[in-house]
């Protein structure tokens, strides 16, 4: 059953193995990373959430120049308007950190991501094999525009209720994001605490609740995790943190080093860097902003901290970097993406074989 579900999703995605390199917004998913994963028989994904339409087109072209295989493009589903908050207290806090890094005073941040429908047009024009999304469910007409062009649509759920809503919306597959995951929480149908279900508990419950293929995500770092996900009924897996330390990933050098040296308990879920809860490794900035009412709503906080994070990354100063990480980061490896995919698949085979011995 596990095996036929696995093969069936592979066929739908047009790949050898439904092993998905997670979309990661913010420059990690370089065309080289995405193409290397697809060329190795998995599915590479472009994290396009923060990109302007012309940059989405450029990235997709760059991937296509490196692979003829299928790949995915991912966007954030639009989050409703949030109450406007005075940025002055946050800018005052940030000014102190800017001074430490020799940066000019912070400016009032942008309060919106690039226009979603413009991004959708660019994704449609790029014609990826798969369109995936998180943070909600795009409108029926947006979903239909992908489906009518034969683009497979995958949405992210962090609990059973969200998985049911996604199924009702007509998506083709569901990414079940467990609480171990690195990056933002995808939770949309309630407070984010209602989406803190661990992958081990979440996957079988989502598998039981929907008829669609379920892609397990969160804390999967090696063949043991992939084999476990398959045993839980997952038809595919999506790994983010495991790919962040690959040579082709755009992850800052200092960030890669922190991931490799992380512990199981190094991470926190915090709003400090973007205004939306996400999992990353604790550092001075997160500790300082814990519980602060000055933190702006997403995406204003993301844009408010972008200069600080960028300068810190260039200077290798991990105190002020957003050190995104899933709870399995300590299991990450310093390898090429092709070698990682190869190792993950052969480890999975070994584990599955030894399980039935």
Binding string, 4-33, against ligand FMN, x = CB under 6 A? Answer: ------------------xxxx--x-----
Which alpha helices (DSSP H) does 127-266 contain, by range? 140-147, 160-169, 199-209, 223-231, 241-244, 253-260
Residue facing ligand FMN at closest CB distance: 240
Select from 119, 177, 235, 274 the one that contacts ligand FMN (CB under 6 A): 177
Per-residue CA distances from 347 to 15, 75, 149, 221 (Å)? 19, 31, 36, 11
Based on the shown chain and the rule CB under 6 A, indicate whether residue 324 belongs to the binding site for ligand FMN.
Answer: yes
Which helix H or strand E contains 126, and what residues bound it?
Answer: helix 116-126
Select from 189, 192, 328, 332 the one that contacts ligand FMN (CB under 6 A): 328
Give the 3-state secondary structure of residue 177. strand
Nearer to ligand FMN, 218 or 275 (CB): 218
- Look at the block and give the residue holding tokens 């999992």: 279
- Look at the block and give the residue holding tokens 């990450």: 332
Shortest reach from residue 98's CB to ligand FMN, in Å: 23
Nearer to ligand FMN, 93 or 301 (CB): 301
Based on the shown chain and the rule CB under 6 A, indicate whether residue 266 belongs to the binding site for ligand FMN.
Answer: no
Q: Please classify residue 106 by burial: count the beta carbons closer than 10 Å to its beta carbon, then call 0-12 exposed, 13-18 middle and 19+ buried.
A: buried
Based on the shown chain and the rule CB under 6 A, indicate whether residue 44 belongs to the binding site for ligand FMN.
Answer: no
* Range 94-133, binding ligand FMN (CB under 6 A): 132
Select from 42, 47, 87, 236 the one that contacts ligand FMN (CB under 6 A): 47
Within 8 A by CB and 6+ apart from 41, the residues are: 15, 16, 17, 19, 341, 345
Within 10 Å of residue 342's Cβ, how many Cβ atoms?
15
Based on the shown chain and the rule CB under 6 A, indicate whether residue 236 belongs to the binding site for ligand FMN.
Answer: no
Q: Can you give the binding site for ligand FMN, defined by CB under 6 A?
A: 22-25, 28, 47, 49, 74, 132, 134, 156, 177, 180-183, 217-220, 238-242, 324, 326, 328
């Amino acid at each position: 059953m596990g095996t036929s579900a696995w093969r069936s999703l592979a066929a739908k995605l047009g790949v050898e193995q439904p092993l998905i390199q997670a979309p990661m917004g913010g420059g990690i998913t370089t065309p080289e990373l995405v193409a290397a994963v697809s060329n190795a028989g998995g599915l590479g994904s472009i994290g396009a959430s923060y990109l302007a339409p012309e940059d989405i087109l450029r990235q997709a072209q760059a991937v296509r120049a490196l692979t003829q295989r299928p790949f995915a493009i991912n966007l954030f589903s639009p989050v409703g308007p949030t109450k406007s908050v005075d940025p002055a207290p946050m800018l005052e806090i940030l000014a102190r950190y800017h001074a430490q890094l020799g940066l000019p005073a912070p400016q009032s941040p942008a309060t919106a991501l690039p226009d979603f429908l413009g991004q959708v047009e660019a994704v449609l024009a790029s014609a990826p094999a798969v369109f995936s999304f998180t943070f909600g469910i795009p409108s029926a007409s947006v979903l239909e525009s992908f489906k009518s062009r034969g683009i497979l649509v995958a949405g992210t759920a962090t609990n059973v209720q969200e998985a049911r809503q996604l199924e009702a919306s007509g998506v083709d597959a569901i990414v079940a994001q467990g609480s171990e995951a690195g990056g933002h929480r995808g939770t949309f149908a309630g407070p984010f605490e209602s989406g803190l279900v661990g992958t081990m508990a979440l996957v079988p419950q989502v598998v039981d609740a929907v008829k669609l293929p379920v892609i397990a995500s969160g804390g999967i770092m090696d063949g043991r995790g992939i084999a476990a996900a398959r045993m839980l009924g997952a038809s595919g897996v999506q790994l983010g943190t495991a790919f962040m330390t690959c040579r082709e990933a755009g992850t800052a050098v200092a960030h890669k080093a922190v991931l490799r040296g992380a512990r199981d308990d190094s991470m926190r879920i915090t709003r400090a860097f973007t205004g939306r809860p996400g999992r990353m490794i604790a550092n001075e900035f997160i500790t300082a902003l814990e519980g602060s009412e000055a933190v702006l709503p997403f995406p204003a906080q993301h844009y408010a901290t972008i200069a600080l994070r960028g300068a810190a990354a260039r200077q290798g100063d991990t105190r002020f970097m957003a050190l995104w990480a899933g709870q399995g980061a300590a299991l990450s490896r310093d390898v090429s993406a092709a070698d990682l995919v190869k190792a993950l698949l052969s480890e999975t085979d070994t584990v599955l074989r030894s399980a039935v011995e």
